[in-house]
Structure 1
Amino acid sequence: MSEEWVEQEKENIDGEELEEDAEESDGEGFESEEPAAVEYEEEEDRYAPPADAVKTYLRDIRRSTLLTFKEEVMLAKRIAKGDEAARQRMIESNLRLVVSIGKRYMNRGLPFSDIIEEGNIGLIKAVEKYNHRKGFRFSTYASWWIRQSIERAIINQSKLIRLPVHVVERVNHYLSHVEDLVQELGREPQVDEISKKMKIQPDDVDQIQQLLRKTYSLDSPIAANKETALRDVIEDTSQISPVTKAEGVRRREDILRWMSLLKDNERQVIVLRFGLEGDEPHTLEEIGKIFGLTRERVRQIESSALRKLRAIITQKTIGPDEIL
């Protein structure tokens, strides 16, 4: 199967489907009757799933029709009464949403077929828990469940981080509260809403989110040859051989070279955020105090920098040997 075919098939899916991002919904009243458009980051589209089974799957799900909000409400009411046909239609009509979201997690340690499978598990949970009375489109609600299912799978398969028991308990406590908020609000909660629910400071919420992000992103390849991952340059080196330590230093230098293509403020934020120069990772608030910025502005800079860094490395198909 050619990568070009799969790439075109993925573009066809995205061109037809509709998703409404939770951050873009104001949550007031019922939303548009039009099917919701799926949005995605263009740079993620470069990665093509390799298996013929995926090729067939992408082709098949294009046949499913999108739902209007009225149709979602109708199906939700039938599902609440135990209508299996309505449940099946709600699932099938949103399979393309899973693919669109799943592409953002490619090259993070899971095969694309597994990403789709985990995303579909999240979709099924969303169908079971969706409350149309909240006034949100199903895609707004389901997006969180899909992402959460995929991220949990990536975390579970990661062999890098062994978290202490008390940290695991705190993370599970966080996830439980976030899940409750998603159910209450019908959308993904904001940091201040989570902190209020958990009765902790927003900065503590940010630290937990940073830990989760670090756990599932460290195994992401950072070069086209897929041999160098971010974890290789920031993992604990206290119990590894001198040769491996030397390789880690070289890879750290590789990353810093790639980062030299970023703007100064973007580079500084990434270095502080991930502790790439040997320091402990900083929170958004801590970085904000250093540069006199709000935590939201720091978050925006971080997101922009990570997108650019991924695009720089993959788009130019460069590896460590080409940069040294």
Structure 2
Amino acid sequence: MGRKKVENPSVDEKPKKRGRRKVSEGGASTPKLSSNKKKTLKTIYDEDGEIISLDEIKNNLLKRAKSIGCIEQSDIYDALNPFDVDDETIIDLINFFKDKGVEVVVDDEDDEEISDEDFDESKAALEDDDTEFLDEDSELDDEEEEEEEEKGKKKKAKTKYVVSEVKVNDSVKMYLKEIGKYNLLKAYEEPILAKKILEGDEEAKMALINANLRLVVNIAKHYVGRGMLLLDLIQEGNLGLMKAVDKFDYTKGYKFSTYATWWIRQAITRAIADQARTIRIPVHMVETINKMTRIQRQLIQELGREPTAEEISDVMDGELSAKRIREIQRIAMEPVSLETPIGEEDDSHLGDFIEDKESESPVDYTTRQLLKEELYAILKDLSDREERVIRLRYGLDDNRPRTLEEVGREFGVTRERIRQIEAKAIKKLRHPTRSKRLGDYKEKF
């Protein structure tokens, strides 16, 4: 069954600042889920790689979540990822869980508003992060820090985002400084801009996009280390943000950042599945590989060794057989370039240490060369005509044996005469004084 693209996700409620909340029409908050409850839900809900119908998805989610009494909205989104659904379908599905007495909770960690202070802290953390995609020479406004200290204020100094005033040596930092110039929108400004967008106002569309670029960075940084650079993740997330702007319906009363979060995540995860690997793996298979990898790492910590396929299958309650797990492990292997440098001086490559099983070994090559030299020496005992016929008939010079007729044309005689010359030459070569010299090579070839 082919994968289908999600056309229009939905959200349920304007999120609060932090924490987990219940999605309800009244917007009432519920206590945070305990870590045990969250872990249990994650354990019983994870797709096994098989794409089933939408009704089966609904029934499976209900069956698994009823034992706990709650389900995360992100889990619903993940389950619907392979299907072509619209806002109304997702709203109906969430209401379906409510009617069945199942709480739908939302993790607001990613879709909350990013304030100037939070963005400064996030930017500073990214710039100070000791990773290959960032430099460590972030520059703050020292003068402003000194002024703040003199005034006795405890809050951190804000970063100046004017690119022309700050020396920038890293493309990520340049981008962070650039998007820092755009102010966040007030709550009342979102529907005003959304209305103008529906009327075809391109400036309003760009204003809504620019105001949410920080949200993309906040989400993209969680996907670093999965095969794509941070800037590439941000770029893909921006594409999802633009799609969210095109599809946002302000009349439903939902907050744009919550709605856009789904599209941003969907764009980033799809890009990772499509571009992160040299050999592409289907999206549903990536989810299965990730689930199996988490279990494998957990077993390594518990057992102190690599778990067997049977042990992984037992932890997964038989969702995947041991044979299927071995197949997935083979699929999940990352390709390695034969040009990968080996050693500190980079003067050798991985391909130099891999045996070519199709090529002839040095011992066999040497033996064959000695046989050829011995055979040519024996042919010198024949007449020039006999030696020439043998060489042509068996292709000793160019590995292309000739027929009797071809050799006859070259000598200007009949094929019968060439057959007689060949038989006479072979008889001479079979003489014990000559055949004994080739006997040692018989067993080797």
Q: Computing the radius of gyration over CA atoms, which structure comes out larger, 1 or 2?
A: 2
Q: Return the structure number with greater helix share.
A: 1
Q: Which structure is higher in RCO with an 8 Å CA cutoff and minimum separation 6? A: 1
TM-score (norm 2): 0.33
TM-score (norm 1): 0.44
